[in-house]
Every structure is written in structure tokens, then in C-alpha cells.
Amino acid sequence: MQTAKTRNGSVEHPARGSPLGANKTGRPTRLAGLDSGVDAAATKSPTGRSPKVERRTTMSAEREKRRSPMKLSELESQLSQLQDELKKAKEQLHSSENSRKRALQEAEEARAQAAEASAQVRDSQAQLAELSSVEETRIFELRRLSQERDRSWQSELEAMQKQHEADSAALVAAMGEVHRLRVQLAAAARADRKQEAAEALATVDELRTKLTASEEAEAQARALHDECKQQLEASRATIDSLLTDGSKLMDSFSLVVTELEESRAKLKTLEEEVAETTSAKAAAGQRCNCSGSETAELRSALEDVEARFQEEKILSTVETQCAYELMDQIKVEADLRHGKLATALASAKSEVMFLKASLFDRESELRRAQVATKKLQDDARTNSTADELKAQLQGALQENGQLKLELQQYESEKVPVKSEADAAAEAAKKGETEAELRRLRVQAEQWRKAAETAMALLTVGKGGNGKILDRGESLDGGKYAGLYDELDDDAAAARKNGNVLRRISGMWKK
């Protein structure tokens, strides 16, 4: 009984407070012992027991029977828990077996790998020994080669040092030669520059002489122009004198016409008197004698008047012929002067073109000199004698600047001279010559028409008495008025040309 209790107690106690993980493996064995003890106690024959023991067993059985309804459920629950724990323990055991197998397998694999590694280590040690021996031989060979290379490099370095010393000596000699050549080049450049400067100065002097010659030619052209202008003024004066003589001649023509009219009136009165006195023969004879003497006187006076008229006509024709000859002479002289002015202008233009070409050549030479000076400046920067070269270059630049200023001054002087010469030539060509010729033609035409009108007045018959005064009035009021208007216009044009010439002279002075 006590053993059963103790066993039951031992069975109950671990079921209540045993941990799951630590007692899982021991519980199945205990339960197996308990079952075996109970079965053994039940199967024992009662003959082998004592009465006390039987009473105790009966009492314990009764107690067990009393307690069995209470503990059966607990035991069943514990049994189910134990079975679950058993399953879990079996699973864990199976997993531990698997892990053990895996561990064993891994250990076998590790042993195999260790064996392979040891074999590889042995192989690597053998290879290392071989490699160390090969490396030692290679290092020995490399040392030998490096020593040989060092010796060869040392010899090459010594040879290069010797070559460098020789090259440095040659370089020093070459630098000396270059310096000498630079000095010679600088001297040659200075000589060339001086020669070019002298040539430039000579060219400038030549251009100045040509400019003075062109100015002299222009002055001669101006003098010729002034002379032509004076001759035109003289021709104007002669034309004015001819106009005054013509007006005087027209006045004398009008006086002669009035005298002729008076003589004609007297003849008419005498004829009327002769017609009235024809009835008386005696008185008529005497009066005829008287009238014959008067008519003879009148005829002689008329012949004198006609003779004077013929003389005046001849004089007027001679004067008109002289005016035509003078006009032709003035025209020829104007053509000659125009030709001279044209040739002078052409020569001036050719000189100007030549001067332009020479100026362009000088500018190109100046540009070349500037390029040479720039090159000399670049050489002077690397030369030891930089100060001397700079001074020489400054002198050359100053000379070039002076040449530039002289060329610019010459150009500025050449432009107004050319413009003035062109303006004067054009003004002389288009302004005064054509205007004077046109005026001379108009005046000659007017003189011709006036002479024809005078001849028509003198040759008019008796029926033209009423037309004489009208034609005279038209001559006095129409022809001369237009002539004087044209003279005024020509005078205004001359004043305008004079203003233009004054402006040109002012520009030339500026």
C-alpha cells in the first residue's frame, strides 16, 4: 500500500510540477513502471500475502475506489497531456536523430573536406616549396639582370652626360653664333630701315615737288581762268558799247525817218500847189520854175539823206560784221581756253592718280616697315640688347609717324586742290563759257534782227507810214526789254558764279 502510494505520489508529483522540456524523456519510463507494478500487484496470487497485507490492500483498494472517481479524470487529462508530450518528445527525438544524422553527415563531410584540405595543404606546401625554389632562382636571375641593367644604365648615363656636355658646348657655340647673327640682322635691319626712311623721305620730297608743280599748274589755270574772265568782261563792255551805239543809231534812224516824212509831206504839199496853179500858165511857169528849184533842192536833200543812210547802213553792217568776227574770235579763244583747261584738268587728274598710286605704294611700304618693326620688337624681347632695339624701333616708329602725318597732310591738301580744280574747271566749262556764248549768240541775233528791221523801215513805201512807229515801238519796248532782262539774268548768274568761286576760295584758305 505504501509502495503504491509512493508510486502514485511519485506519479502525481511530476505531473503537476514537472517542466515540459526537462522531464519529457523520463516520463514514459515511469508510466511504464507504474503500469507494470499495478499489473504485477493485480496478478499476484493472494496466497503469497499476509493477512495484514491483504487488509491493507483491501483498504487501499477501497480507498482507491473512493479516490478513483476523483482522480480518473485528472489521470486521463494527465495521460492525454503525457501522450501529447510523448508525441512531441518523439518528434523532438526524431528531429534530434535527424539533426544527429545530419551532424554526423556534416562531420563526415567535414572530415572529408579536412582530408582534402590537408591533401591540398600538402600539395600547396609541395608547390610552395617548388615555387620558393623557382622564386629563389628567379629572384637570383632578376638580381643578376638588374645588376647588369644598372651597369648598362650607368654606362648609358655616362655616355649621355658626355653627349650632354658636348651638346651644351655646341649649344653655347650656336647661341654665340645666333647672337652674332642677330646683331648682324639688327645692323642690316637698321641699315635697311634707314635706307627705306631715306627713300621714303626722297619720295615724300618728290611728292611735295609734284604737289607744288600741281599747285603751280592750278595757279596758272586760275590765272588763265581770271584772264578769260577779264576778256569776257571786256567783251561784255564791248557789247554794252555796241548796244549804246545801236541805240544811238536807232535814234539817228528815227531822226532820218522823221526828216523823210517831213520831206514827203513837203513834196505832197508842193504837188498840190502845182496842181492848183496849172490854170495860169504865166504864173504857173514862174511857179514851176520856183517849184522846180524847190523840188531840185528837196531831191538833192533827199539824195543827201539817202547817201547818209547808205553810209550809216554800211557802218552798221561793218559794225555787225565786226561784232560777228569778235564773237567768233571770242568763241575760238574760249574753245582754246576750254581745251587748255581740259588738258590741264586731265594732267592734274593724271598727276592725282599718279600721286594716289605713289601714296598707295608708300602706304604699303609703310605697312611693310611696320611689320618689320613688329618683328624687330618680337626679336628685341628675347634679345639682350632690348633697350637699343627699343630706341631704334621708337625712332623708326617716329619716322613712320612723321611719314604718316606728311602723307595725311598731303592727302588733306590734295583733296581740296582736286575738288577746287574740278569745281573751277566745271564752273569755267559749264557756267561762264556757255553762258557767254549763249548771250553772244542771242545778242548777235538781236542785232541782226534790228538791222533787218532798220532796213525794212528804210525800204518801206508810202503805204507803210502807220507801221513804222509800231515797229519802232516794238523794237524799243520789246526787243531791248528782253535783251536787258537777259543781261540782268546773266549778271545774276555771274554774281552766283562769283559767290561760288568765293566759297571755293574760302574753303581753300581753310
* SS3 per residue for 26-70: CHHHHHHHHHHHHHHHHHCCHHHCCHHHHHHHHHHHHHHHHHHHH
Q: What integer pLDDT is reported at residue 468 of this predicted model? A: 40
**Mean local confidence (pLDDT), 155-174:** 77
Residue 425 and residue 224 in contact, taking contact as beta carbons nearer than 8 Å = no
Residue 30 has pLDDT above 70, yes or no: no
Please indicate whether residue 100 or residue 394 has the higher confidence score (pLDDT).
100
**Mean local confidence (pLDDT), 416-429:** 63
What's the rounded Cα separation, in Å, for the pair 370 and 376? 10
Q: What integer pLDDT is reported at residue 53 of this predicted model? A: 54
**Mean local confidence (pLDDT), 42-67:** 56
Residue 218 has pLDDT above 80, yes or no: no
Residue 223 has pLDDT above 70, yes or no: yes
Q: What is the pTM of this model?
A: 0.24
Instruction: Report the chain's mean pLDDT, rounded to a whole number.
Output: 67
Please indicate whether residue 485 or residue 458 has the higher confidence score (pLDDT).
458
**Mean local confidence (pLDDT), 146-165:** 79
Query: C-alpha angle with apex 408: 404 to 414, nearest 5 degrees?
Result: 145
**Mean local confidence (pLDDT), 169-196:** 79
Residue 26 has pLDDT above 50, yes or no: no
Least confident of 61-70, 237-246, 402-411, 494-503: 494-503
- Model confidence at 52, pLDDT cuts 50, 70, 90, reads low
Taking CA atoms, 373 is separated from 266, 299, 461, in Å, by: 108, 106, 99
Residue 471 and residue 457 in contact, taking contact as beta carbons nearer than 8 Å = yes
Contacting residues for 487 by C-beta, under 8 A, at least 6 apart: 439
Task: For the beta carbon of residue 310, count every other beta carbon within 10 angstroms.
Answer: 11
**Mean local confidence (pLDDT), 165-183:** 77
Please indicate whether residue 50 or residue 254 has the higher confidence score (pLDDT).
254
Q: What integer pLDDT is reported at residue 213 of this predicted model? A: 75
Q: What integer pLDDT is reported at residue 192 of this predicted model? A: 80
**Mean local confidence (pLDDT), 292-306:** 70
Q: What integer pLDDT is reported at residue 432 of this predicted model? A: 66
Q: What integer pLDDT is reported at residue 347 of this predicted model? A: 73
- Model confidence at 110, pLDDT cuts 50, 70, 90, reads confident
Please indicate whether residue 187 or residue 213 has the higher confidence score (pLDDT).
187
**Mean local confidence (pLDDT), 432-454:** 69
Please indicate whether residue 118 or residue 323 has the higher confidence score (pLDDT).
118
Exposed, middle or buried by CB within 10 Å (0-12, 13-18, 19+), for 458? middle
User: Which residue, 364, 360, 366, 367, is CA-closest to 411?
Assistant: 360
N-terminal to C-terminal alpha carbon distance within the chain: 163
pLDDT digits (tens, 9 = 90+) for 95-105: 888 888 888 88
- Model confidence at 43, pLDDT cuts 50, 70, 90, reads very low
Q: What integer pLDDT is reported at residue 417 of this predicted model? A: 58
**Mean local confidence (pLDDT), 236-260:** 68
pLDDT digits (tens, 9 = 90+) for 313-337: 677 677 667 766 766 776 677 677 7
Beta strands in 319-402 (DSSP E): none
Q: What integer pLDDT is reported at residue 491 of this predicted model? A: 55
- Model confidence at 482, pLDDT cuts 50, 70, 90, reads very low
**Mean local confidence (pLDDT), 167-179:** 76
**Mean local confidence (pLDDT), 381-394:** 62
